[in-house]
């Protein structure tokens, strides 16, 4: 077999075992090991897996993962979600679909403290959905808003999505995180636009919430927002100005939120151990996936597939934007079946060299990728946010949640197109960063 043929056989074996249900990290290690044994030698292949596992598990920049997860868990434990929701409700009550807008705004702000999206969807689900249903909102709209709002955690830093992308492509995690700020804002606004347009077209979907809010109350409600803003500005400001590296910023953010939880006397053993178990589970999952991906990439590099595919793509003389559209389409489809992080880990070894050859900016492509990861969280049949929500609101069928999320999925695609036309939305802030 030529190396390329071996690479193709290996990739098919990977897909087969994947569909048989083998954990993705172990599949990549296993196939990578077989491939390296074949293309190099068994002797060379034997130590690769164990060494990769150690090097991944003891790599300083990855300490950011548990820290980001702790940030989200402490923020949830401190009751910040409910406070944000209460504040924004006061501000947006009179707008069409006001509670929905408040949900998106609160999700966006919570996203500024949390790196993982499922926690956000679950936390917001228990607060916002009962409220929206109490005021007779259409169930599909209510759950759709929460599912979509939860995905914002992936784009608005701190974000696990950018960390994983940065790990796989060796791009600066700090720049990636900063690049997510403006697109995150644009996406939140486009979600709000979706709600406003839907409710304007069909006011029955969201009856106006009764009750007048005075300006005094509105000003006082801002008190629920300042902690979030403060922590966000310290964390992202520190990274932006180059005072701290992203890991240190994560530690500062987590410590600050830890202090907030303690000062509110809301730290319980149970809460702390749940937070730590969550941090462990996600960190181990991510780092084993990355270790698997590194083993598999080594095999693919030996097979010369990434280089050949890139060369072939470049020789095709078709517009890079046609290839990009194809990649986005592939991600939308993969997102239907794979969870966000596995999708990145499985595709990046081949897709990233292609994207670089086509001349796209790696940081900009990171934003596109993270948005595609977000889309995967709400597409049927296995959108993770939808599953989480289905667990929280037991009386709304899963199909309704998917139907409710569809308009927001379209908004995501719209924003991807927008940042393709105006890459500055993603690249302006990182280009100004201090070093």
The single residue among 46, 193, 262, 326 that binds other proteins, judged by CB under 8 A, is: 46
User: What is d(CA 323, CA 313) in angstroms, rounded to the nearest whole number?
Assistant: 8
C-alpha distances out from residue 14 to 11, 24, 99, 310, Å: 5, 9, 45, 21
Q: Taking CB under 8 A as the rule, which mask of x and - marks residues 74-103 in contact with other proteins? A: ------------------------------
Site for other proteins in 254-283 (CB under 8 A): 254-255, 258, 276-277, 279-283
Half-sphere exposure of 41 (CA within 13 A, CB side): 2
Distance CA 157, CA 108 (A): 10
Where is 17: in which H helix or E strand? helix 3-19
Q: How far is the CB of 428 from other proteins (least distance, A)?
A: 27
CB of 341 to other proteins, least distance (A): 8
Q: Which of 171, 172, 247, 388 binds other proteins (CB under 8 A)?
A: 247
Write the DSSP string, 206-259.
Answer: SPPPP----HHHHHHHGGGTHHHHHHHHHHHHHHHHTSS-HHHHHHHHHHHHHH
What track of x and - describes contact with other proteins for positions 20 through 39 (by CB under 8 A)?
xxxxxxx--xx--x------
Question: Judged by CB under 8 A, which of 251, 344, 351, 370 binds other proteins?
Answer: 251
Candidates 49, 75, 121, 348; binder of other proteins (CB under 8 A) is: 49
- For other proteins, which residue of 4, 285, 330, 392 counts as binding (CB under 8 A)? 285
Distances 140 to 100, 106, 378, 404, 407 between C-alpha atoms, Å: 12, 19, 13, 4, 11
Shortest reach from residue 209's CB to other proteins, in Å: 40
Shortest spacing between CB 311 and other proteins, in angstroms: 31
Q: What residues have CB less than 8 Å from 118, skipping those under 6 apart?
A: 150, 384, 385, 388
Size of the site for other proteins (CB under 8 A): 57
- Nearest-CA neighbor of 184 among 245, 250, 109? 109
Closest contact distance (angstroms) between CB of 244 and other proteins is: 6
321, 328, 319, 326: which is closest to 414 by C-alpha?
328
Q: What is the C-alpha to C-alpha distance for residues 31 and 413, in angstroms, rounded to an integer?
A: 34
The span of 49-57, 155-163, 166-174, 348-356 binding other proteins (CB under 8 A) equals 49-57
Mask of contacts with other proteins, 348-387, x by CB under 8 A?
---------------------------------xx-----
Q: Would you count residue 322 as binding other proteins (CB under 8 A)? A: no
- Minimum CB separation of residue 406 from other proteins in Å reads 20
- Enumerate binding residues for other proteins (CB under 8 A): 17-26, 29-30, 33, 46-47, 49-51, 53-54, 56-60, 62-63, 66-67, 70, 243-244, 247-248, 251-252, 254-255, 258, 276-277, 279-285, 287-289, 337-339, 342, 381-382
């Amino acid at each position: 077999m030529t190396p390329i043929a071996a690479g193709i056989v290996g990739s098919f074996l990977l897909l087969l075992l994947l569909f048989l249900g083998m954990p993705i990290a172990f599949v990549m290690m296993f196939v990578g090991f077989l491939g390296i044994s074949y293309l190099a030698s068994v002797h060379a292949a034997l130590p690769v897996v164990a060494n990769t596992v150690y090097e991944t598990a003891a790599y300083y920049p990855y300490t950011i993962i548990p820290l980001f997860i702790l940030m989200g868990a402490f923020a949830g434990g401190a009751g910040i979600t409910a406070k944000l929701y209460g504040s924004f409700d006061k501000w947006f009550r009179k707008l069409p679909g006001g509670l929905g807008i408040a949900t998106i705004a609160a999700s966006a702000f919570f996203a500024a403290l949390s790196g993982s999206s499922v926690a956000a969807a679950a936390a917001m689900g228990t607060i916002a959905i009962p409220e929206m249903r109490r005021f007779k909102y259409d169930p599909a709209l209510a759950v759709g808003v929460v599912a979509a709002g939860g995905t914002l955690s992936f784009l608005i830093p701190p974000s696990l999505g950018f960390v994983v992308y940065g790990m796989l492509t060796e791009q600066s995690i700090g720049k990636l995180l900063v690049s997510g700020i403006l697109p995150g804002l644009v996406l939140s606004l486009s979600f709000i636009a979706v709600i406003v347009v839907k409710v304007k077209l069909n006011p029955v979907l969201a009856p106006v919430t009764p009750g007048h809010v005075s300006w005094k109350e509105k000003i006082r409600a801002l008190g629920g927002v300042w902690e979030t803003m403060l922590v966000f500005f310290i964390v992202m400001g520190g990274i932006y100005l180059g005072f701290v590296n992203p890991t240190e910023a994560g530690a500062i953010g987590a410590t600050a939120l830890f202090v907030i939880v303690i000062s509110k006397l809301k730290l319980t053993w149970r809460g702390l151990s749940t937070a730590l178990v969550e941090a462990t589970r996600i960190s181990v999952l991510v780092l084993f996936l990355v270790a698997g991906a590194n083993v598999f990439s080594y095999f693919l590099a030996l097979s010369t597939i990434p280089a050949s595919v890139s060369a072939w793509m470049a020789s095709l003389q078709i517009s890079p934007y046609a290839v990009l559209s194809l990649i986005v389409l592939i991600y939308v489809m993969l997102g239907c079946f794979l969870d966000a992080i596995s999708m990145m880990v499985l595709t990046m070894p081949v897709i990233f060299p292609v994207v670089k050859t086509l001349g796209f900016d790696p940081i900009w492509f990171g934003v596109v990728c993270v948005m595609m990861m977000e889309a995967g969280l709400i597409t049927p049949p296995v959108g993770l946010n939808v599953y989480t929500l289905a667990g929280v609101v037991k009386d709304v069928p899963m199909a309704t949640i998917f139907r409710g999320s569809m308009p927001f999925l379209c908004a995501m695609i719209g924003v991807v197109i927008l940042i393709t036309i105006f890459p500055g939305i993603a690249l302006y802030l990182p280009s100004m960063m201090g070093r």
